[in-house]
Amino acid sequence: MSTLLDFPDEIAARIVNFVGFPGILSLHQVCHDLRNFIDDTKPDWKLDSLNIIFSREDIIIRCIQNQKSYTIKYEISDQNGLLRDLGTCMKFQKSALKTFTIIGQIPEDFHLKLGGTIRTKTQKLNLQVENQDQILHILPCFNSDVLKDVDLSDASRGPIEKSIKIDKVVELEQWKKARNLSISCFLTFLSSSTFRKLTYKSIDDSRFLSESLGPFYTDPYEPHELNWYFRYPNSEECLRIIWTSDYQVIVFQKERVDEMPDEAALQN
Amino acid sequence: MSVENAPVVDVDEAAIPVEKKMYYRFESNDKKEFRVSELAIQQSETLNRLVEAMGYTSEDVENKPAIAIENIDGKTLKLVFQWCEHHKGEAIPVDDGSVPKIVEIPEFDAKLMDIDNGLLFKLIWAADYLNIVQLLNVSCKKVANMAQGKTPAQLRRVYLLPSDEEDEAAKRAAQEAQDPRAREVEEEFEERKRQGGNSFF
């Protein structure tokens, strides 16, 4: 009796492609020959997004492909299984992912292990971290020419004003090239980069902002937003700092001077 | 079978001339005979070319021996021709070697393929050999669907594949069967190592 691998290559390839994602992940573990065969056929999964969600009981990979959502569940102890499948996922993902998310109760050593497993083209990274080292493990896995948005948030669920060092992170190509950076905790150090927009979350007191930044401008239609404008030396662009009381978010954004509201003051 | 006795073919009369409605006789490798309408045969690129090349008249079909299909058995060929008769006159997808993105399995095909894996795999072989593109699509899709939601261990049973360990054991056994001396040398080497000998040669 013939088996799957006795078929001519084009038939076996047809079947493997019909199996598609996520069935190929299991197929890939069946045996050497099938694994080699799948590797040779180099399927392109065209995933849109990949999310890894840690909870107390389990780990979930949630993928969006072709507007369909797929969920793969792992025991919390089966980090190796998760990493193996993530490696396979990334191997067969030729197009760029729109988003890559890692959130939840992430085990301390996971960032290091993941950093050794994946290389990916992704436009937006959502990452929960507790310290700089974790960012340093993960961020270099992302192709800096593709990564546009980096959203870092605090995984520790500790005090809101926790600080995190990013003095080494800012040296990374990925950080320098990202256009939108969003950070939900205070930073003790920040250097300039080519960002268009930088967001900090959980800043709940506007007083110290107006003390240090001077008089602000408020658009009558956006009464919850305080705005400051600073001119860049020898440039048609200015730095707009926005603090939103609704979300307790502060945003740094580059804008053109001629797009400023007339009533707002431009500080030097 | 005469042209008059042929079942009614539900297609546009103008598009298919009357003389096209003829039958051919085929024989499987276990000597089962089948009569298949010419329109159904068109689903198989291989058979269609064959009958065109033979240029049989209705009389030839009856008088000459049935066309032998050497490497397909009667049970499989029956399924193939049932499929072809059901789908006769339907457009044949262009097979450019790429895998079609969406393949739906119609109810008729699902019932036809409600068979054991061995027969299903034979059906795929036959569809490939006879170049019946859409039958190849649906049968491969059916095999692919069998993989959904299964663990690697379950997949080994479905696809009749060995685990890595079994595979290695089988390869070792085959190697040993081929070269018994290699095993002896290995054993001797292990024995010398145990005895603390420094040099084997």
Render pLDDT for B8-34 as a digit per residue (tens, 0 to 9): 444 444 454 445 578 999 999 999 999
pLDDT recorded at residue A187: 47
**Domain residue spans in chain B?**
9-152, 164-194
Chain A partners within 8 Å of B151 (Cβ) = 26
What is the longest distance spanned by two Cα atoms in chain B? 91
Half-sphere exposure of B127 (CA within 13 A, CB side): 26
Q: How far apart are CA B121 and CA B33, in angstroms?
A: 22
A-B contacts (CB, under 8 Å): 81
- Exposure pattern of A4-25 as b/e (b: 16+ CB <10 Å)? bbebeeebbbbbbbbbbbbbbb
Question: Which of A18, A27, A38, A88 is the best mutation test for B, with the most CBs of B within 10 A?
Answer: A18
- Residue ranges of E strands in chain A: 47-54, 58-65, 68-75, 97-104, 122-129, 149-154, 163-164, 180-183, 186-187, 197-201, 225-231, 237-244, 249-256, 266-267
- DSSP for B126-166 reads HHHHTT-HHHHHHHHHHHHHTTTT--HHHHHHHHT---HHH
ipTM field: 0.72
Reduced to 3 states (helix: H, G, I; strand: E, B; else coil), residue A243 is strand
Chain A partners within 8 Å of B159 (Cβ) = 3-5, 30, 34
CATH code of the domain occupying B9-152: 3.30.710.10
pLDDT higher than 60, residue A24: yes
A98 versus A17: the higher-pLDDT residue is A98
pLDDT higher than 60, residue A208: yes
**Domain residue spans in chain A?**
1-42, 44-202, 206-268
Q: How far apart are CA B36 and CA B46, in angstroms?
A: 14
pLDDT higher than 90, residue A220: no
Closest residue of chain B to A73, computed from CA coordinates: B149
Q: How far apart are CA B12 and CA B39, in angstroms?
A: 12
Residues of chain B with confidence (pLDDT) below 70: 1-20, 95-101, 178-201
Measure CB to CB from residue B99 to each of A3, A14, A27 and give the nearest one: A14
Chain B partners within 8 Å of A18 (Cβ) = 99, 103, 140-141, 143-145
Is domain A1-42 given the CATH code 1.10.357 in the classification? no
Kindly report the nearest CA distance between residue B133 and chain A, in angstroms.
Answer: 11
Which has the closest alpha carbon to A124: A153, A98, A104, A94?
Answer: A98
Binary contact (A31, B151; C-beta < 8 A): no
Render pLDDT for A173-205 as a digit per residue (tens, 0 to 9): 998 888 887 776 544 444 444 455 666 655 556
